[in-house]
């Protein structure tokens, strides 16, 4: 496969280029009987949508999703759910320059080497616009997990360049354009972003995602560990360069007595493992954290080469996010939802009739 | 699938429990005509083998691999390569305690919830012993990549708890029991490990893996990005809690002008991307880094519960690595080799006849 | 997976219900650089289209396919090709009866048991309307195979109920509404169909498909034998109940000396194997033959039950093909094209660098 | 993938060459808690074993299977089940002739074209010896299906060349060396086979397989229809050239009123569909029938070419089955068991929580 499908039982296959006719996706394997309408996806799509504050790109993308199949009389039927978002804001513009140059830190050069041909309009397939379909598909998974299992998946921006959130107040996350859970840091983030925009530069970010209410037993022991599949899913998001589960890189300096999450009949005493032991969920919250690189589309000139190998100076005009991390929270949540959904179906495929006598201990 | 297979075209499927009859693996999709013998795998297996210094477990595992199929007159035939390692050092011992308790930070509790049954002898399927087969399979991939494409995959330990390597001298890596590339830090590591062993505690580590000579064009654009598959592969190694590609978490605080790897006709001017742009290899070295948690098997007592939910105090006797990171370098190399091999075959499956006119610029 | 995807490297995933908003499909893994436009698919779609003679259903389905992605400046880019056909001829009608009854020999009863819910409008997902997307996807495969490898895939109707073609004249196949290669039998077929239509009954048929110019070496030795994948693909077409390769069921009464296709330096002396030996193409024409059952939608009343288990008498009104076999030829060709394309890519993924010294002997 | 794996959730991956060190297989995805020992597989293996009558090859293959993993204290654990059969009867012989020639109707010529190299000893990977592992794996599926769902899978030989069974008496099937259910035809079959053996020729056969007790709802609607997966599985057995479900090729001449299986509250009135409607099981018995070609290894000389393309006359000495169909019944049963098991797990993965209100009507 060419890697446009994610999941084994709950599978999401996307298509579409940034400036093509439409983006689309097929969700296969969704259990029947789930109430579903476009509105269930639109809320998450709107959180990802550009142009909601001055800190994101001012492109206008309606991002209105339409269900083409798999839903009948308001419920999923178990057959594939076809989704489409028509592209409406492709400004007709002059692509002659971009077609001849490789922008540094973009996929231009690597696509050219892979395929010998590339759709250079707006980054083509490599544009983060593709993630709109992931958010739509993730909304289906999220709804199922919430309604049937009581699983809650939430994310937030914990670092924006040098500014770090120090408090986790979930109520604040949707009160500011950064998805920042620490209200005290929002002014600092705003000031930082305003200065950055003037400068013409961009910055990286860190997003944390948490799933609560995940039952113990999800995941597979070897290659498809729950954390390995999460790493796969999260690293597949544009601009992500690092993934941590639980203590993550912090565990390099931890001793075993500190790291091991001791257990009592009342629950685990800590959660350095991030809710995954031996690749399988423990019933504790699943904790993942990702690093996103700074946007590569800058109006500050950078050295590069053209398609013939000659040196050029590249300036990216147009409307771009100075921090792609800001809009990435719903995408990370979506990918976590898809992974959990897939593993839930995989688990019950193999183990639906297992009688588990082990008591579930409380979460931290 | 139950997640015991890795890869799409070059697939590795493993079986076996720590104290069962044997470990085994099937490598499917290996190109025919590759010269292959047990010796090609044994060298890597020996690097992973326990008991090679006082800093690793003193268990004796011969880890002698035997090729059962897929090789004829010294060459691969294109049919599945069956491998087996007989288990020889299962000390017959009293498992009554371990069968009734869940060791903290182990997979005991989660396996019990997933399957309702578990092979508790030596950790069963969750033991890192399974990685021996990954190393054997990785050796096949590595040989192909080296001989046919000139790709070289190497790893080293860059951090052992608080001790950090500051120099990268490849010649040193195999001169000390830690796979440490900085000879000046070896005494410090030895002292640290000796103290730790006395204490009865364990410690985390960081491993870096580098692939040089990877041609541009390997990887897939969306979910199966080369870096996403690497994250999957590396996070699937026992004890790994974090994965970085290139600048990794460092890119949170990087500005776009700093992070973007500018290009000139002579080559890239930096490699913050870690050799992957848009999920596809750029021709630069692939750089990955992983965090391994400290061993959870400690003789220092820890709180836990038994299978009935009663509180217990757990002490793990037996022979365990105080730092699993030390032996993990060959495993990380193996997983990177398998990922690259798989993507090489996938790439030529789709793109074998592509005429690429884009010039390859030199590596950093 | 829920079985809406076919292929491993060249994958086709379809969605859509008979009377839903649209049918769609994603082709993933198509090599880049193939010239492609809607016209390339429309010709095959038109051959499958209903209403082209009085012997097929008089429904009007425009079946106009639209490419939404994966093609840029007239060429495939290697990224997923999204296709859509809007449904335009869903007569708004009264579904109250069909929603309460299980039509005999239809999927109504089985879908109800599988999903507990079903889109009963026009058969929903179980309608043969889904095959339009297979024909569109098959056209892409066929074009690649034809242009790059010189492979030619053609089919014909060899039996229509009791009427059997006795001559194979390829030039005749598209000169009559039955895809019959024996011009002398066409009047008999017309008379048979006219009588059948008056009667209100339906009839089965046999379709043969032939691929010429297939190079030796395509296929896999064990489970994914070329003939096994063909059987899978062809049996997955609505109404197909039997698949033969080469001599098929005829080989039950053949002796070994008769069946074995002897070889000479000039070529094989017969083709009872149907072009596949040990699951791998031999270079001879690939010969497949399928049996299609008679349409189950009849205006002659049949006994059945309603959704509550009560006996009912079912009469299917509406516009239905009295012989689904008549329109099935392009579908069978499409499935064969998809299988060959997939195996071509799989073959070169594993074996692209194999130096084959075995001489290719001529075809029969 | 290279096609050595069958199944999506219950997966069977085999390795091994006819005259190699061993045959092996990994069963992945087996539910935990199933009682399992070697004896459960040995019974089926013994039915397939050569040398049980004068009508099969006189090779001695002990075919003793050994479980290497995935079973603990007599029960499956949910982890991969590793199986091995050591090869013990590889007579050391002179392979110089066979290494230089392509035997007609064998895979010699096609393997040479695919891989450029082949293990010619005893047919290597293309030998039907590989099916021993399928039988072992099938026994695990069969046991689960029998114990948990009451499904019974049985097969018989219905035609041996020109001799056709006319009665189906299940009690007779294991009373004669042909698996023939019609005791009156056994003498005729014996006489036919004796004559054939003297002649030095071989003959084809037909095998029927029946699964009773399959619940309605198994299968997937589009490409992975239950019948399509069965066709795949059965056509993947060595020597099979045709597959029918239910009425099979007989439905070409059936009218719709005859073919459609009418339903009453008491049950279906016929089973022309063979237990599958729209790709999904109906609760009726699953009926499949396969054609097996005559053995190609004959001592009667046949024309062929050598590896350099020169004409040769091939005579196959050694011990071969004059009718491979005779030993194929357990293999066909095994493949049907694997397909049903896989679809059962797939079904409950997606639909485990579906509340089905549709009444189950009795079987025919």
Give the pLDDT score at D256. Answer: 96
Q: Are D155 and D135 in contact (CB under 8 A)?
A: no
Distance between CA atoms of residues B300 and B199, nearest Å: 8
Closest CB to D22: pick one of B2, B23, B68: B68
Q: Are C240 and C234 in contact (CB under 8 A)?
A: yes
Two tokens at C84? 């859509």
Q: List alpha helices for chain C, DSSP H.
A: 38-48, 96-100, 108-115, 131-144, 186-199, 226-235, 256-259, 329-351
Closest CB to A105: pick one of B109, B233, B261: B261
State whether B233 and A244 contact (CB < 8 Å): no
Hey, is the C-beta of A79 within 8 angstroms of any chain C C-beta?
Answer: yes
High-pLDDT (> 70) share of chain D, %: 96
Closest CB to B305: pick one of A247, A307, A361: A361
- The alpha carbon of residue A356 is apart from the nearest alpha carbon of chain C, in Å, by 26
**Considering only CB atoms, which chain D residues are within 8 Å of C358?**
109, 112-113, 116, 307, 309
- The alpha carbon of residue B253 is apart from the nearest alpha carbon of chain A, in Å, by 4
A269: left (phi over 0), alpha (psi -120 to 50) or beta: alpha
**Considering only CB atoms, which chain D residues are within 8 Å of C294?**
251, 254-256, 258-260
What residues of chain C score a pLDDT lower than 70?
Answer: 1, 58-60, 89-94, 319, 364
Give the pLDDT score at D56. Answer: 76
- The alpha carbon of residue B235 is apart from the nearest alpha carbon of chain A, in Å, by 5
Centroid of chain to Cα D29? 21
Distance between CA atoms of residues C151 and C159, nearest Å: 25
State whether D104 and C263 contact (CB < 8 Å): yes
**Considering only CB atoms, which chain B residues are within 8 Å of D133?**
none
DSSP-derived letter for residue B215 is P
Hey, is the C-beta of B79 within 8 angstroms of any chain C C-beta?
Answer: yes
Q: List alpha helices for D145-255, DSSP H.
A: 186-199, 226-235
Q: Is A337 annotated as a binding residue?
A: no
Hey, is the C-beta of D244 within 8 angstroms of any chain C C-beta?
Answer: yes
By the 10 Å C-beta count (0-12 exposed, 13-18 middle, 19+ buried), A25 is classed as buried
Report the residue count for chain B.
Answer: 364
| pTM, two decimal places | 0.97
- Indicate the helix (H) or strand (E) that contains D131: helix D131-144
Closest CB to B256: pick one of A107, A235, A296: A296
Two tokens at D356? 């089905």
Q: Is D4 annotated as a binding residue?
A: no
Q: Is A54 annotated as a binding residue?
A: yes
Give the pLDDT score at C91. Answer: 58
Residue in the block written with tokens 């009859």:
B21
Complete DSSP assignment for C37-79: -HHHHHHHHHHH-TTSSTTS--------EEE-SSEETTEE-SS
Give the pLDDT score at B90. Answer: 59
- The alpha carbon of residue C98 is apart from the nearest alpha carbon of chain D, in Å, by 15
Q: Are D83 and D136 in contact (CB under 8 A)?
A: yes
Hey, is the C-beta of D69 within 8 angstroms of any chain A C-beta?
Answer: no
Beta partners for residue B83, in sequence order: B25, B67
**Cβ neighbours around B270 below 10 Å, total:** 17
**Considering only CB atoms, which chain C residues are within 8 Å of D248?**
241-242, 291
**Considering only CB atoms, which chain D residues are within 8 Å of C243?**
231, 235, 242-243
Query: Which of A261, A245, A270, A215 has the alpha carbon at shortest distance from B103?
Result: A261
Beta partners for residue B22, in sequence order: B86
Hey, is the C-beta of B32 within 8 angstroms of any chain C C-beta?
Answer: yes
What's phi and psi for C109, nearest 5 deg? -65, -40
Two tokens at D101? 């020639």
**Cβ neighbours around A318 below 10 Å, total:** 12
Hey, is the C-beta of B349 within 8 angstroms of any chain C C-beta?
Answer: yes
Give the pLDDT score at A97. Answer: 79
State whether C274 and D241 contact (CB < 8 Å): yes
Two tokens at D170? 């299940």
State whether D29 and B2 contact (CB < 8 Å): yes
- Indicate the helix (H) or strand (E) that contains B244: strand B240-245
User: Taking 70 as the threshold, does the pLDDT of residue D92 lie above it?
Assistant: no
Closest CB to C217: pick one of D3, D110, D310: D110
State whether A107 and B277 contact (CB < 8 Å): yes
CA atoms within 13 A on the CB side of D202: 29
Give the pLDDT score at D364. Answer: 62
Touching subunits of C (3+ CB pairs, under 8 Å) are A, B, D
CA atoms within 13 A on the CB side of B210: 13
Give the pLDDT score at C59. Answer: 67
Distance between CA atoms of residues A343 and B283, nearest Å: 35
Distance between CA atoms of residues D120 and D94, nearest Å: 11
**Cβ neighbours around C39 below 10 Å, total:** 9
Q: Are B66 and B22 in contact (CB under 8 A)?
A: no
Best to test chain C binding among A33, A75, A77, A84 (most C CBs inside 10 Å): A77
**Cβ neighbours around B170 below 10 Å, total:** 11
- The alpha carbon of residue C81 is apart from the nearest alpha carbon of chain A, in Å, by 7
User: Beta D276-277 vs A302-305: how paired, if at all?
Assistant: unpaired
State whether D228 and C235 contact (CB < 8 Å): yes
What letters, b where the CB count within 10 A reaches 16 and e where it falls short, cover B330-346? bbbbbbbbbbbbbbbbb
Two tokens at D231? 């066709």
pLDDT 10s digits, A222-237: 999 999 999 999 999 9
Query: Which of B207, A239, A240, A1 has the alpha carbon at shortest distance from A230?
Result: A240
Query: Which of D240, D243, D260 has the alpha carbon at shortest distance from D251?
Result: D260
Give the pLDDT score at B352. Answer: 93
Mean pLDDT in residue range D294-299: 90
Report the residue count for chain A.
Answer: 364
Give the pLDDT score at D106. Answer: 94
Extended strands (E) in C142-271: 152-160, 163-164, 205-212, 240-245, 263-264, 267-268
Distance between CA atoms of residues A189 and A176, nearest Å: 10
Give the pLDDT score at B58. Answer: 66
- pLDDT classification of D317: cutoffs 50, 70, 90: confident
* Residue numbers belonging to the annotated binding site of B: 48, 54, 125-127, 238-239, 278, 293-297, 319
Distance between CA atoms of residues A281 and A274, nearest Å: 9
Show the CA angle centred on residue C346, arms to residues C340 and C351, nearest 5°.
Answer: 120
What's phi and psi for D67, nearest 5 deg? -85, 125
Query: Which of D303, D269, D272 has the alpha carbon at shortest distance from D289?
Result: D272
* Residue numbers belonging to the annotated binding site of B for FMN: 125-127, 238-239, 278, 293-297, 319
Touching subunits of D (3+ CB pairs, under 8 Å) are A, B, C
The dihedral over CA atoms of A251, B241, A216, A172, expressed in degrees to the nearest 10, equals 80
D69, D130, D172, D183 from D38: Cα distances, Å: 12, 18, 27, 32
Mean pLDDT in residue range D149-159: 98
Q: Give the pLDDT of chain A (364 residues) as one tens digit per residue.
A: 689 999 999 999 999 999 999 999 999 999 999 999 999 999 999 988 777 788 877 666 778 999 999 999 999 999 999 999 998 865 556 677 789 999 999 999 999 999 999 999 988 999 999 999 999 999 999 999 999 999 999 999 999 999 999 999 999 999 999 999 999 999 999 999 999 999 999 999 999 999 999 999 999 999 999 999 999 999 999 999 999 999 999 999 999 999 999 999 999 999 999 999 999 999 999 999 999 999 988 989 999 999 999 999 999 877 678 898 999 999 999 999 999 999 999 999 999 989 888 889 977 6
Question: Could you say which architecture CATH assigns to the domain A5-351?
Answer: 4-Layer Sandwich (3.60)
**Considering only CB atoms, which chain A residues are within 8 Å of B162?**
253
Hey, is the C-beta of A6 within 8 angstroms of any chain B C-beta?
Answer: yes
Hey, is the C-beta of B99 within 8 angstroms of any chain D C-beta?
Answer: no
What residues of chain B score a pLDDT lower than 70?
Answer: 1, 58-60, 89-94, 319, 364
Two tokens at B201? 């505690």
**Cβ neighbours around C313 below 10 Å, total:** 10
Two tokens at C295? 């349409």
- The alpha carbon of residue D38 is apart from the nearest alpha carbon of chain A, in Å, by 22
Query: Which of A48, A364, A36 has the alpha carbon at shortest distance from A212?
Result: A364
State whether D11 and B29 contact (CB < 8 Å): no
Mean pLDDT in residue range D198-206: 95
Give the pLDDT score at D58. Answer: 66
Closest CB to A15: pick one of C80, C114, C117: C80
């Amino acid at each position: 496969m060419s890697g446009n499908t994610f999941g084994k039982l709950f599978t999401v296959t996307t298509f579409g280029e940034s400036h093509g006719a439409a983006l689309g996706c097929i969700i296969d394997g969704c259990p029947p009987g789930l109430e579903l309408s476009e509105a269930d996806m639109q809320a998450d799509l709107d959180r990802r949508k550009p142009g909601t504050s001055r800190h994101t790109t001012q492109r206008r993308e309606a991002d209105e999703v339409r269900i083409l199949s798999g839903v009948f009389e308001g419920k999923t039927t178990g057959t594939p759910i076809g989704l489409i978002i028509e592209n409406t804001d492709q400004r007709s513009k002059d692509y002659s320059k971009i077609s001849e140059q490789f922008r540094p830190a973009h996929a231009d050069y690597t696509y050219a080497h892979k395929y010998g041909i590339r759709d250079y309009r707006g980054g083509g397939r490599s544009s983060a616009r593709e993630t709109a379909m992931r958010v739509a598909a993730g909304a289906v998974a999220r709804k199922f997990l919430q309604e049937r299992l009581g699983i809650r998946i939430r994310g937030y921006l914990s670092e924006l360049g040098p500014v770090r959130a120090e408090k986790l107040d979930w109520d604040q996350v949707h009160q500011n354009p950064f998805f920042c859970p620490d209200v005290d840091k929002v002014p600092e983030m705003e000031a930082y972003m305003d200065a950055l925009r003037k400068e013409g530069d961009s910055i990286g970010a860190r997003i944390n995602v948490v799933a609560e209410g995940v039952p113990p037993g999800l995941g597979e022991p070897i290659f498809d560990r729950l954390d390995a599949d999460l790493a796969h899913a999260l690293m597949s998001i544009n601009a992500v360069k690092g993934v941590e589960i639980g203590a993550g890189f912090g565990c390099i300096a931890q001793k075993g007595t500190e790291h091991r999450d001791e257990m009592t009949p009342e629950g685990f005493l800590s959660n350095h493992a991030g809710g995954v032991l031996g690749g399988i969920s423990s019933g504790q919250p699943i904790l993942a954290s990702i690093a996103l690189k700074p946007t590569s589309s800058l109006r500050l000139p950078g050295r590069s080469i053209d398609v013939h190998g000659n040196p050029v100076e590249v300036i990216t005009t147009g409307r771009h996010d100075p921090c792609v991390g800001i809009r990435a929270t719903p995408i990370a949540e979506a990918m976590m939802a898809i992974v959990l959904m897939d593993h839930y179906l995989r688990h019950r495929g193999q183990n639906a009739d297992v009688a588990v006598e082990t008591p579930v201990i409380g979460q931290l």
